[in-house]
């Protein structure tokens, strides 16, 4: 069968006692601080007088199947260039509600899987006019949140987003530019998160106050947490 005889009789050596002790410490630390990566873990070990290099820590964490929890990248993959719109908010005097809304999506880690939280903020009032949770980044989910906002609060004059594929697609632009809607589309410059600074600041607030360091087990329970947080936020 072309199998080397030594492979059958070889017994893996396994990790040393020291490595097993380090792994135990890192496992306990991760339960309390699941957002800390290799460098923070290295600092924690140093406080315990354990000098361990980054390469070794990274290998042991991978062996344990542990990864720091953080918002994932690539939520804003570019769509078709023909649907990209210019940024309309530079120097604009935003002086009344429903003048400009901003929409964005953030990643929420769960105990089993993940969710994406979509929110729309009125830039003048800082009021969250609509939000929802989904388990995919499909454009129809984002559009459903916008339709909910319009149904409850009326139409804005302008809606601003990044250049993610959810917004640079026919479904999004054709709806906004349809004769019965006619909402101006504004998009951040590529790589310019500060163009949408108000909703980026909102993400920092909600992730800090509503997303637990240990991922939530229940989607309904997490949805309830977001609902109660936004009820207070919008007062």
Q: Which two tokens stand for residue 29?
A: 């630390």
pLDDT at residue 69, as a whole number:
65
Task: Indicate if 25 and 141 belong to the same structural domain.
Answer: no
Task: Indicate if 146 and 187 belong to the same structural domain.
Answer: yes
Task: Indicate if 121 and 222 belong to the same structural domain.
Answer: yes
Q: How many domains does the chain have?
A: 2
pLDDT at residue 65, as a whole number:
75
pLDDT at residue 10, as a whole number:
58
Measure CA of the first residue to CA of the last residue in the chain; give whole Å: 72
Between CA 124 and CA 146 the distance in angstroms is 17
Residue 126 in any domain: the answer is yes
Query: Which domain does 59 fall in, by range?
Result: 5-64
Task: Indicate if 189 and 140 belong to the same structural domain.
Answer: yes
Task: Indicate if 14 and 102 belong to the same structural domain.
Answer: no
Task: Indicate if 60 and 107 belong to the same structural domain.
Answer: no
Task: Indicate if 111 and 27 belong to the same structural domain.
Answer: no
Task: Indicate if 126 and 217 belong to the same structural domain.
Answer: yes
Map tokens 């005097």 to a residue.
Answer: 93
pLDDT at residue 13, as a whole number:
65
pLDDT averaged per 10 residues, the chain (length 235)? 66 77 86 81 92 92 76 54 88 95 87 85 95 90 96 96 89 95 89 68 81 74 90 89
Between CA 119 and CA 139 the distance in angstroms is 14
Between CA 183 and CA 20 the distance in angstroms is 59
pLDDT at residue 201, as a whole number:
85
């Amino acid at each position: 069968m072309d199998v080397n005889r030594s492979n059958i009789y070889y017994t893996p050596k396994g990790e040393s006692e020291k490595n097993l002790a380090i792994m135990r410490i890192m496992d306990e630390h991760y339960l309390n601080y699941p957002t800390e990566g290799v460098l923070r873990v290295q600092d924690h070990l140093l406080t315990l007088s354990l000098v361990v290099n980054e390469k070794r820590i990274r290998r042991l964490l991978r062996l344990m199947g542990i990864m720091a929890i953080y918002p994932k990248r690539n939520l804003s993959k570019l769509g078709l260039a023909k649907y990209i719109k210019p940024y309309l908010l530079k120097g604009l005097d935003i002086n009344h509600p429903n003048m400009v809304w901003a929409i964005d999506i953030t990643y929420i880690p769960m105990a089993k899987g993940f969710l994406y939280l979509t929110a729309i903020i009125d830039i003048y009032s800082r009021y969250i006019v609509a939000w929802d949770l989904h388990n995919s980044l499909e454009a129809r989910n984002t559009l459903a949140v916008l339709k909910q906002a319009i149904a409850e609060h009326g139409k804005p004059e302008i809606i601003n987003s990044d250049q993610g594929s959810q917004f640079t697609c026919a479904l999004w632009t054709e709806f906004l530019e349809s004769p019965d809607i006619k909402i101006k589309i504004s998009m951040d410059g590529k790589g310019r998160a500060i163009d949408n600074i108000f909703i980026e600041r909102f993400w920092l607030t909600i992730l800090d106050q509503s997303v637990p360091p240990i991922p939530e087990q229940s989607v309904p329970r997490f949805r309830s947490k977001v609902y109660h947080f936004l009820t207070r936020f919008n007062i």
